[in-house]
Chain A
Amino acid sequence: MTSLRLAGLLAVATIPALAQQIPVIERRLPNGFRLLMVERHEEPRIAGGWVVKVGSANEHLGITGISHLFEHMMFKGTPTLGTKDAQRDLELIAEQERVRGEMRREEAAMRVALREGRLEDVTKPENFTPRYKELEAEFKKLIDEQRQLLVKNEFDRVYTTAGASGMNAFTSEDMTGYFITVPSNKLELWCWMESERLLRPVFREFYAERDVVYEERRMRIESTPIGKFGEEFNAMFWDAHPYMWPVIGWPSDIPNITKRDADAFYALYYQPQNITLILVGDFQPDQAEAMALRYFGRIPAGTQPPPEVVTREPNQPAEKRMYAEAETNPQVDILWKTVGYRHKDSYPLDVLQLLLSDRTGRLYKGLVLGSQVATETYAMQDSKKWAGQFNIGGEAKDGKSPEEVEQGIYAELEKLKNEPVPADELQKVKNQFAAFEYRKLTANFPIFMQVLQAEGLGDWREVNEANAKLQAVTAEDVQRVARKYFTKESRAVAIYTRKPGTGAASDDPDLAGLAADQRPMVRRIVESLTAEKDVAKLKEFLGQLEAQTGNADPKRQQLQKILQKKVAARIAELEKK
């Protein structure tokens, strides 16, 4: 054992002190771009990208979703990339805008019909006005003509042919990030492509792309079991802050975003002072900087700084609750207002998150293993740029209610408020943060993404500064933030129960004793009972059942009894009305 320990100590001694730091080189271009570079020669590739400090929090009602729509449009090319005839292409886009302007007037008329109740759904093709259908056909002609000139997804093709990979982008409440990995000899191509699309983007195929975003909305929110409830819960949680609307936008806003909105938004937020370029990988920083200067330096600086988000969330005066019936197992989801990025309390809250999380965390030990009210639990401090939230939740164990899980969560929080965290438990969490300091450094792309996220939230230096602040957190700090933020008034609670008729047949405790092959039949009969309103008919059916029960074979006895019980219950329900 002694020798093992010695080996361990020696290994510690050989860890270079600077290994935990991401060696970022920071430069500023004359027009305002910030350039962050991390040199790594482990593979002949470079992860490159840029972050724009704009997200859904910078939007306003009427154009919600525009940041994300932009993220899609930035891949559509430039005057020379994506078309065979730049001149005609721009003319066609202008003509399309004219027709769309007319279509929007028709849409306004259809919205009047909607408000007055003459139409149920303005998105159904059957409900389009004749004039709208004409315009649609006219628009389609222009699209068909443009398609003859298009070089489809040329932006992507150029990169792909050059051996690039992982081209993508994301939008959050606070930022929009674009990224790709290129072979290390193609750094100049990256500079060319990215500076071109920033200098002169062309938003062609705007309306087809808007439909794609709609499909993305259906995929992520509308057709998932709890997507629409999560969206509603978030909108309920924030009273005033623009974090209240979904990043993808409200469905009625997305189709009404005009090219004029888009141009104004681009001019305001996509200016060099609001963008940081990031490169991680196999390059020489001096050469990369010179190349960035040559290509990105030609983009004119903006004329006015983008506005800040000034709306602050007011102090919530009372708890909020939402009860949802969804196609999901019963569960609870709780949000508290906390603090945003780099706030001094965000570090003890991050520690608190780990104290609560994972299979050795307090929630799992308390609620899953201990009182056994839950089957799984989670906790997360989400330090956004302008404000923050803490999220705790869990799924109820069969036979337990979401409210019991909720009470169990509060009980764990009370312990954290009342008793200081033991030293070894705090150390366990700090060890995990310390180990992450190494794990975060394993490959280009994860390093790139951490720098990008930190920069988008406020300051890239956080990637190197956070750990020291986390290591300095004391048991008293944890207790103080637990008391300060986990109050009844600052929380919102979502209780999910299963939508009737969507689970397993055996969810009905009455059916528990039945054989597997009997359940579907009983379930079907029970459902048809719910639809039956004729009491006389039901009574007749009950009489038949009672007559049969005595003669049924033992295997069917229980089934008959359950059916009788269900029919009787339905009769009682109808007679009560």
Chain B
Amino acid sequence: MKSQFLSTVLAGLALGLTAFGADIVDRPEKLTFPALRFEPPNPAQFRVPLKSGPVAYVVPDRTLPLVTISITVRVGSYLDPDGKEGLAEFAGYLLARGGTKSRTAEELEERLAFLAANLGSGIGDDAGSVSLNLLSKDLPEGLKILREVLTEPRFQENKLDLYRQQNIQGMKQRNDDAKFIKAREQERLAYGDRFWACRQTTEKSVNAITQEDLKAFHQKWVHPAGFVVAVSGDFERDAMVAQLESLFSNWPFKGENPPAIPADISMSPPGVYFVKKDVNQGQVSILLPGVMRDNPDFLAIQVMNDILGGGGFTSRVMNRVRSDEGLAYGAGSAFPGGVYYPLAFQAGFASKSRSVKYAASIVLEEMTKIASTPVSDEELQTAKRSFIDTFPENFNTKAKVAGRFASDEFTGRFAKDPTYWQTWRSRIEAVTREDVQRVAKEHLHPSKAVILMVGDEKDIDLGDPKHPLTFKDLSSGPLVQVPLRDPLTMEPLPAESR
């Protein structure tokens, strides 16, 4: 008997057919997995305060013959003088693309292209960056170019003119896509017309930018005292440190320390704000005041938001708006913490005009619900496991390790909490259902929401006969018509002309 049973099994295995799947479990919970250990890298291991000024994170990685250097600069569009909005952006773009003292822009770009090296630069709202990725055999030449770009940029006049032209033509597309309009107006509503980050470039402001402005801006703000450096790739650590020292020493000008980044935001009063645009899909953004990144509840807020609308297909907003009702392709929420000023909570989606109000009512309902009823254990576990078990992705390349630590250095997080990443997972683990409800109650007040809609007002107002709703059902605040703006002047356009 025994031998016959065995031969049957063996025959089945040999055929490779009947044996497959015979003993496979019917539910994934029945599977067991080996333990997985992961410890995040320790920033102190890579941190090098350079004698020449900057702090560098140096992460050798000999697997590929490539080197990445990224320099973060303490500068930003908050430093734009009134009337010259765009100066920081122009300086950032042209720093690496406008030539240097010894080479024209064309010569520089030609050489970099021949070396297949990627040199980039840019200045955003609250930071600037210059980065270089190249083959390690070209590192000495690359560093020489980097030094020239950082200390002796040419800001070639014809490149300034060309970028200005491209920029103005880009402005002309500002009202072409409803998404652009939404992005612009939600900033104004969230932070106030007069807040520095809501200032817009205009034809006039970029026409006012001169080569002298760019040079002065560069000499004022681009200097090693404000640099944080991330380097990773194919080099020997001590040799790289020495190369960085010579890259940043003997800076030819002194520069200034930038002033603190202003934080004088003010959110618009609750209401439905409407921008008319002739498209068949309405864009919706629901805004509430946000928090700083170092808020003690920040991680609890992240878990709460993940369950509400941040977690994609496991989130409530996505489940209801998309999966249940088929009202949107994407729907969700974000609760980003600010470094310099509180960043607003935002929930949003795009839906066909007739279902815009209904979908908005669902999102508001979910905001109310998560503040009034505890989330389920299952939801809490899903959110927590998702954060904790994807944690290694934060460090999955050496460039990411260097970049993440450099960013923490730049934003002051490292100085404040050097063990931030070491303790991160246990702090997520500690979030309870009570925490989730408490932070939802504290921060999610649908009655205070600023609701922005961009789309076809007539069809949106008409709504879905199966779900009759008025704008008043969405907000106790007024319905406010927000004018489109002339794309070159940003002046409101009169209603009739739309």
Tell whether, in the assembled complex, residue A223 and residue B281 are in contact, meaning their CB atoms are under 8 Å apart: yes
For the A-B complex with A153-B313, A442-B399 known, give 17 more contacts whose Cβ atoms are closer than 8 Å.
A44-B38, A163-B386, A163-B389, A189-B28, A192-B24, A192-B31, A212-B323, A219-B281, A223-B280, A298-B20, A298-B24, A427-B114, A507-B172, A517-B491, A520-B486, A520-B489, A521-B494
Tell whether, in the assembled complex, residue A225 and residue B173 are in contact, meaning their CB atoms are under 8 Å apart: yes
Interface residue stretch chosen among B209-217, B254-262, B263-271, B325-333: B325-333
Top-3 shortest CB links A-B:
A163-B389, A211-B326, A298-B21
Give the shortest distance, in Å, between B305 (CB) and chain A (any CB): 15
Bits for A139-169, please: 1 = Cβ < 8 Å to B, else 0.
Answer: 0000000010000110011101111110100
Closest residue of chain B to A126 (Cβ to Cβ) is B465
Interface residue stretch chosen among A315-323, A432-440, A449-457, A552-560: A432-440
Interface residue stretch chosen among B124-132, B137-145, B443-451: B137-145
Q: Which of A125, A432, A523 contacts B497 (CB 8 A)?
A: A523
Tell whether, in the assembled complex, residue B314 and residue A160 are in contact, meaning their CB atoms are under 8 Å apart: yes
Verify if B309 is at the interface (C-beta below 8 Å from A).
Answer: no
Chain A, range 280-321, C-beta contacts under 8 Å to B: 293-295, 297-298
A506 to B389, CA, bound (A): 54
Residues of A within 8 Å of B165, CB to CB, are 375, 397-398
Verify if A239 is at the interface (C-beta below 8 Å from B).
Answer: no
Verify if B116 is at the interface (C-beta below 8 Å from A).
Answer: yes
Verify if B296 is at the interface (C-beta below 8 Å from A).
Answer: no
Bits for A495-508, please: 1 = Cβ < 8 Å to B, else 0.
Answer: 00000001111110
Interface residue stretch chosen among A177-185, A381-389, A481-489, A538-546: A177-185
Chain A, range 56-71, C-beta contacts under 8 Å to B: none
Tell whether, in the assembled complex, residue B140 and residue A7 are in contact, meaning their CB atoms are under 8 Å apart: yes
Closest residue of chain A to B144 (Cβ to Cβ) is A4
Residues of A within 8 Å of B385, CB to CB, are 160-163
Size of A's binding interface in residues, CB under 8 A? 104
Residues of A within 8 Å of B442, CB to CB, are none
Verify if A11 is at the interface (C-beta below 8 Å from B).
Answer: yes
Closest residue of chain B to A360 (Cβ to Cβ) is B113
Verify if B6 is at the interface (C-beta below 8 Å from A).
Answer: no
Tell whether, in the assembled complex, residue A43 and residue B497 are in contact, meaning their CB atoms are under 8 Å apart: no
Tell whether, in the assembled complex, residue B137 and residue A215 are in contact, meaning their CB atoms are under 8 Å apart: no
Tell whether, in the assembled complex, residue A222 and residue B281 are in contact, meaning their CB atoms are under 8 Å apart: yes
Residues of A within 8 Å of B36, CB to CB, are 44, 183-185
Residues of B within 8 Å of A185, CB to CB, are 33-36
A224 to B496, CA, bound (A): 23
Chain A, range 194-210, C-beta contacts under 8 Å to B: 205, 207-210
User: Known contacts A75-B313, A328-B173, A442-B397; is A80 also within 8 Å of B323 by CB?
Assistant: no
Tell whether, in the assembled complex, residue A215 and residue B328 are in contact, meaning their CB atoms are under 8 Å apart: yes
Residues of A within 8 Å of B328, CB to CB, are 212, 215
User: Known contacts A153-B319, A297-B21; is A504 also within 8 Å of B324 by CB?
Assistant: no
Verify if A267 is at the interface (C-beta below 8 Å from B).
Answer: no
User: Known contacts A185-B36, A375-B166; is A328 also within 8 Å of B176 by CB?
Assistant: yes
Tell whether, in the assembled complex, residue B202 and residue A376 are in contact, meaning their CB atoms are under 8 Å apart: no
Residues of B within 8 Å of A517, CB to CB, are 489, 491
Interface residue stretch chosen among B347-355, B433-441, B471-479: B347-355
Residues of A within 8 Å of B141, CB to CB, are 4, 8
Residues of B within 8 Å of A503, CB to CB, are 172, 487
Tell whether, in the assembled complex, residue B350 and residue A208 are in contact, meaning their CB atoms are under 8 Å apart: no
Verify if A424 is at the interface (C-beta below 8 Å from B).
Answer: yes
Residues of A within 8 Å of B17, CB to CB, are 30
Residues of B within 8 Å of A504, CB to CB, are 171-172, 486-489
Q: Which of B35, B314, B465 contacts A153 (CB 8 A)?
A: B314
Residues of B within 8 Å of A15, CB to CB, are 65
Tell whether, in the assembled complex, residue B64 and residue A193 are in contact, meaning their CB atoms are under 8 Å apart: no
Bits for B350-380, please: 1 = Cβ < 8 Å to A, else 0.
Answer: 1110100000000000000000000000100
Tell whether, in the assembled complex, residue B319 and residue A152 are in contact, meaning their CB atoms are under 8 Å apart: yes
Closest residue of chain B to A155 (Cβ to Cβ) is B313
Chain B residues close to A by CB (< 8 Å):
16-17, 20-21, 24-28, 31, 33-36, 38, 63-66, 97, 106, 109-110, 113-116, 133, 135-141, 162, 165-166, 168-169, 171-173, 175-178, 202-204, 234, 279-281, 311-314, 318-319, 322-330, 350-352, 354, 378, 381-382, 385-386, 388-390, 392-393, 395-397, 399, 464-466, 486-489, 491-494, 496-497
Closest residue of chain A to B116 (Cβ to Cβ) is A435
Closest residue of chain A to B171 (Cβ to Cβ) is A504
User: Known contacts A297-B20, A397-B165; is A189 also within 8 Å of B33 by CB?
Assistant: yes
A398 to B257, CA, bound (A): 40
Give the shortest distance, in Å, between B378 (CB) and chain A (any CB): 8
Chain A residues close to B by CB (< 8 Å):
4, 7-9, 11-12, 14-15, 19, 30, 42-45, 75, 80-81, 125-126, 147, 152-153, 156-158, 160-165, 167, 181, 183-186, 188-189, 192-193, 205, 207-212, 214-216, 218-219, 222-225, 293-295, 297-298, 327-329, 358-360, 368-369, 375-376, 395, 397-398, 424, 427-428, 431-432, 434-436, 438-439, 441-444, 502-507, 516-517, 519-521, 523-524, 527-528
User: Known contacts A125-B354, A219-B329; is A329 also within 8 Å of B173 by CB?
Assistant: yes
Give the shortest distance, in Å, between B484 (CB) and chain A (any CB): 10
A222 to B350, CA, bound (A): 12
If over half of A's interface residues share one DSSP class (helix, strand or loop), that class is named, otherwise mixed; here it is helix
Sample 18 A-B pairs with CB under 8 A, ordered by A number: A11-B137, A125-B465, A153-B319, A183-B392, A189-B28, A192-B28, A212-B322, A218-B280, A219-B329, A297-B20, A397-B165, A398-B169, A431-B116, A432-B113, A442-B397, A519-B491, A520-B486, A523-B486
A258 to B161, CA, bound (A): 57
Q: Which of B28, B34, B178, B390 contacts A165 (CB 8 A)?
A: B390
A503 to B171, CA, bound (A): 10
A14 to B137, CA, bound (A): 10
Q: Which of A12, A438, A505 contacts B64 (CB 8 A)?
A: A438
Closest residue of chain B to A438 (Cβ to Cβ) is B64
Tell whether, in the assembled complex, residue A156 and residue B313 are in contact, meaning their CB atoms are under 8 Å apart: yes
Give the shortest distance, in Å, between B204 (CB) and chain A (any CB): 6
Closest residue of chain B to A396 (Cβ to Cβ) is B169
Q: Which of A152, A205, A210, A219 contacts B350 (CB 8 A)?
A: A219
Q: Which of B16, B113, B171, B177 contacts A358 (CB 8 A)?
A: B113
Tell whether, in the assembled complex, residue A360 and residue B109 are in contact, meaning their CB atoms are under 8 Å apart: yes
Q: Which interface residue of B328, B399, B492 has the most chain A CB atoms within 10 A?
A: B328
Tell whether, in the assembled complex, residue B382 and residue A160 are in contact, meaning their CB atoms are under 8 Å apart: yes
Give the shortest distance, in Å, between A226 (CB) and chain B (any CB): 9
Closest residue of chain B to A192 (Cβ to Cβ) is B28
Give the shortest distance, in Å, between A76 (CB) and chain B (any CB): 9
Residues of B within 8 Å of A193, CB to CB, are 28
Give the shortest distance, in Å, between A46 (CB) and chain B (any CB): 11
Residues of A within 8 Å of B330, CB to CB, are 219
Residues of A within 8 Å of B493, CB to CB, are 505, 520, 523-524
A225 to B179, CA, bound (A): 10
Residues of A within 8 Å of B175, CB to CB, are 327, 502
Tell whether, in the assembled complex, residue A157 and residue B323 are in contact, meaning their CB atoms are under 8 Å apart: no
Give the shortest distance, in Å, between B348 (CB) and chain A (any CB): 12
Tell whether, in the assembled complex, residue B314 and residue A156 are in contact, meaning their CB atoms are under 8 Å apart: yes
Tell whether, in the assembled complex, residue A528 and residue B350 are in contact, meaning their CB atoms are under 8 Å apart: no
Q: Which of A81, A395, A516 contacts B169 (CB 8 A)?
A: A395
User: Known contacts A147-B324, A210-B326, A398-B169; is A520 also within 8 Å of B492 by CB?
Assistant: yes
Tell whether, in the assembled complex, residue A215 and residue B351 are in contact, meaning their CB atoms are under 8 Å apart: yes
Closest residue of chain A to B397 (Cβ to Cβ) is A443
A183 to B488, CA, bound (A): 50
Residues of B within 8 Å of A4, CB to CB, are 140-141
Residues of B within 8 Å of A327, CB to CB, are 175-177
A87 to B75, CA, bound (A): 63
Residues of B within 8 Å of A156, CB to CB, are 312-314
Tell whether, in the assembled complex, residue B97 and residue A359 are in contact, meaning their CB atoms are under 8 Å apart: yes
Tell whether, in the assembled complex, residue A520 and residue B494 are in contact, meaning their CB atoms are under 8 Å apart: yes
Tell whether, in the assembled complex, residue A438 and residue B392 are in contact, meaning their CB atoms are under 8 Å apart: no
A505 to B172, CA, bound (A): 10
Closest residue of chain B to A211 (Cβ to Cβ) is B326
Residues of A within 8 Å of B38, CB to CB, are 44
